Amino acid sequence: MHIHILGICGTFMGGIAAIAKQAGHKVTGCDANVYPPMSTQLEAQGIELISGFDASQTDLKPDLYVIGNVVSRGNPLMEAILNQGLPYISGPQWLGENVLRDKWVLAVAGTHGKTTTSSMLAWILQDAGLSPGFLIGGVPNNFGISARLTDDPFFVIEADEYDTAFFDKRSKFVHYRPRTAILNNLEFDHADIFADLNAIQTQFHHLMRTIPANGLIVSNAHEAALDETLSRGVWTDVARFGNGLGDWQISNVGSDDSFDVLLKGELQGRVQWNVTGEHNRLNALAAIAAARHVGVEPRHAIEAFSRFEMVKRRMEIKGVVNNITVYDDFAHHPTAITLTVAGLRKRVGTARILAVLEPRSNTMKLGVMKAQLPDSLTQADLIFGYGAVGDGKDALGWDLAESLAPLGDKARAFSDLNELVNAVKAVAQSGDHILVMSNGGFGGVHQKLLDALK
């Protein structure tokens, strides 16, 4: 079958393209801007890419168009598809019907930690001698790719609550029909499509309705919003995890972030690894519990973490110049920013942290979380925010400098990226840690900083 994918250069749709190619389909695709790294990954697999959404692409005459949620009405190619009555489907629905239907799906859902926890879970299964398929919204360093299809019965998927497509406003994860589901956490996000937390809880409950009675829900015991959602009705066994709460518990945390794993009070082993932060300990605990559901003994899962490598863009060191370390992290929601800064603070002690932030997610652009920004950055020594235009406001109308004002003199907002880089360079000193946080490319600021610091 010839599949033509609209919006192919996003991580999720690019992963679908790779899986479709591995399944034996002819795959082509297009995007507004065909850009690396996804473009180079796809081209290396023999997938032809077209820049733009010109209606003439219907001349390719594929058997099916797979539509990414970046596409909306008014898109010229989409309008041609609709006008000509050509067959189309969303990415999540195609995946659910053509790949996941015959798999034991392990889905990882939650506001934060999906990519990291999915990577942990896939690695545990791999390290245990299995060969799981997976589709993850990042690149796990243990695998070097974000998606693969195998003959193994198990498939790990990052289960996103964002909507499916312009013609299907359900969350993507409703299409996945998992047998094992991790619910990491739940708070308000995606203000561009959800009115409030209750609307997101409704989608999570739709997910719960699809999990069979002989499945398993692994739920964070610290999350009241998840408990409220479960209280709407659950037909599946629930295993809760937490720090001092639930069936699975963290205990005896060491100064090196090692920790004991307890299951109903019984010691299962001690995780020794190179990862920091309580949020990552909880991610690991959830992955261990989910892996046990498919037959991996906790002691094997625990041992696997000694060989686990973190995901790209999750506290990833981009370089060290003159004893100044530059990190890249995907954090963009205030909760994720708080946890990321706290994790680095624990790692570096009293050394200075210079936080460089681009609040570019849809939720942040709408200004819904702007009041929470200052508190999320309190553990940083200096803050450099980017996203303002000449009048001090970003394109959607809120004042970044005003939002950062409660932090006083240690925070500044910039509208020019080069000015930001020069400002960081002017104050950076040996021993500093520069933490760059954005869910986008941030204009290549990481390399600009490394070059400037030389």
The answer to whether 127 and 304 have CB atoms below 8 angstroms apart is yes
For residue 193, the number of C-alpha atoms closer than 13 Å in the C-beta half-sphere is 18
Cα distances (Å, whole numbers) of residue 377 to 8, 194, 281, 382, 389 = 34, 26, 21, 9, 22
Is 111 annotated in a binding site? The answer is yes
Instruction: Identify whether 37 is preceded by a cis peptide bond (ω within 30 of 0).
Output: yes
Is 110 annotated in a binding site? The answer is yes
d(CA 265, CA 297): 16
Neighbouring C-beta atoms of residue 168, cutoff 10 Å: 17
* Neighbour-count burial of 408, counting CB atoms closer than 10 A to its CB (0-12 exposed, 13-18 middle, 19+ buried): exposed
Burial per residue of 254-280, b for 16 or more beta-carbon CB atoms within 10 angstroms, e otherwise? eeebbbbbbbeeeebbebebebbbbbb
Is 340 annotated in a binding site? The answer is no
d(CA 35, CA 313): 18
Is 319 annotated in a binding site? The answer is no
Place of tokens 């009675």: 213
The amino acid sitting at 241 is F
- Tell me which residue of 349, 357, 350 sits closest to 329, measured CA to CA: 357
DSSP 8-state secondary structure symbol assigned to residue 420: H
Is 112 annotated in a binding site? The answer is yes
H/E element, 327:
strand 324-329
Could you give phi then psi for residue 306, rounded to 5 degrees? -70, -15
Cα distances (Å, whole numbers) of residue 127 to 76, 276, 293, 340, 375 = 46, 21, 16, 27, 39
The amino acid sitting at 294 is V
The answer to whether 57 and 34 have CB atoms below 8 angstroms apart is no
The answer to whether 204 and 232 have CB atoms below 8 angstroms apart is no
- Tokens encoding 425: 């360079």
Cα 176 from chain centroid?
Answer: 17
As annotated, the binding site for ATP includes: 110-116
As annotated, the binding site includes: 110-116
